[in-house]
Amino acid sequence: MRIAVGFKVTPDYEALRPSDWARASSDGLETRYVRRILDAYDEGALELALRLRDARAERGLETGLAAFSVAGREADPFLKTLRALGYECAARVDATGAGASGGLDFAPAATAALVAACAQELGDDVLLLGCSSGPSDDGTIPFFVAEALARPCVTRVTEIAPEGADRLRVTFAADDGLVRATVRTPCVLAVGNALVSHLRVPTLRDRLAVREAAIAELRATDLGVDVAEAVGGEPTRLTGLTPFDRRRAGALVAGVTPAGKAKALWDEHLRAELEAL
C-alpha cells in the first residue's frame, strides 16, 4: 500500500501585526517576514500516516509513504524533516508565476486540481489531507480532489488502523459522535481533530542519513494543469480581508478580602443579569 499525504505550509497568522491586516487588499497579506508553520490538521495527517505505516509493519504488511506540498522553497525544510522521519518521497509542486493575484490561497478548485494530479503522479492508494489549512481554506479541497480522482472521501478523520491488505478501519467524527467504518482503498481521507496531532521529531542521526536526499520538484505544466485557467474559472473572487477583533472586555473587581471581592462581584455584576433571567 502506498500512502500519500498532501500538506500546506502556512504563515503564522498569529504573528501578524494589526497594521498588516489593515493594509490587506485583494492581493492578500504581506507575510514574507512571518515564520512558516504546519497547519494542525495537516500535521495530524502526516503523523497518522506514520502510525499507520508502523501498525501495518507489525502485521508484516509493506507500506510506502510520500509527502507533497503545493508551495515554493519555503516547504523544503518541512519536506527534509519528513524524509528523515521515513517518507521515501518528498515532492514540491511549483505553481509560481501562474495564476491570478493572490495566488492559490483563495482558489480551492485550482489547488485541488494540482493535488489530484500530484497524487496520480505519485501513484498513491490512500491520500491523506487536512480538513482545512489556514484561514483561506473553506474545507472543500478534499471533496474536489476526491471528485477528480473518482474516489470515496471520508472527512473529519481522527484515527486510522489497518484492516487487511487493502482495507482500513477509519474513525471519524459525525454530528452524533464518533463513527468507525471499514474503507476499501483507493480513497481520500480528510483528517480533522486527530487523537495525536503532533508530528514526531526525527533524531539527529535520521537527519544526517538523508541530508543529501533531494526534494523532487514537480511543475504544474508537467502535471497537465493550467493554473491560470483553473484560477480564472474559480466562482468566487477575493475582494478584501478583515480580521476579527478577538479582544474581550474585562472589569477589575474591587475588594480586599476574598469575601469582599465575592460580594462586589455579585452586587455590581451578577445580580442584575441573573435577576433579569
> How large is the average pLDDT for residues 37-42?
90
Most confident among 101-115, 175-189, 246-260 (mean pLDDT) = 175-189
Average pLDDT over residues 18-31: 65
pLDDT beyond 60 at 22: yes
Beta-bridge mates of residue 38: 9
Higher pLDDT, 222 or 31: 222
In the chain, where do the E strands start and end?
A: 2-6, 9-11, 36-38, 64-70, 89-94, 126-130, 153-162, 167-174, 177-184, 187-191, 216-219
**pLDDT(250) > 50:** yes
**Average model confidence (pLDDT) across the chain:** 87
What's the pLDDT at 99? 43
For residue 39, the model assigns a pLDDT of: 87
Which residues, at least 6 apart from 116, have a Cβ–Cβ distance to it below 8 Å?
144, 145, 148, 149
Give the pLDDT of residue 27: 55
Task: Provide the percentage of residues in the chain whose pLDDT is more than 90.
Answer: 57
The pLDDT of residue 276 is 81
Q: Which of 59 and 231 is assigned the larger pLDDT?
A: 59
Residue 228 has pLDDT above 70, yes or no: yes
Q: Which residues pair with 4 in a beta bridge?
A: 66, 127
pLDDT(18) > 80: no
Domains and CATH numbers, the chain: 2-232 (3.40.50.620), 250-277 (no CATH)
pLDDT score, position 102: 47
Residue pLDDT, tens place only, 93-137: 987 654 443 468 778 888 999 999 999 999 999 999 999 877 777
β-partners of residue 67 are 5, 90
What pLDDT, on the 0 to 100 scale, is given for residue 10?
86
For residue 11, list its beta bridge partners: 36
Q: Provide mean pLDDT across the span 68-84.
A: 93
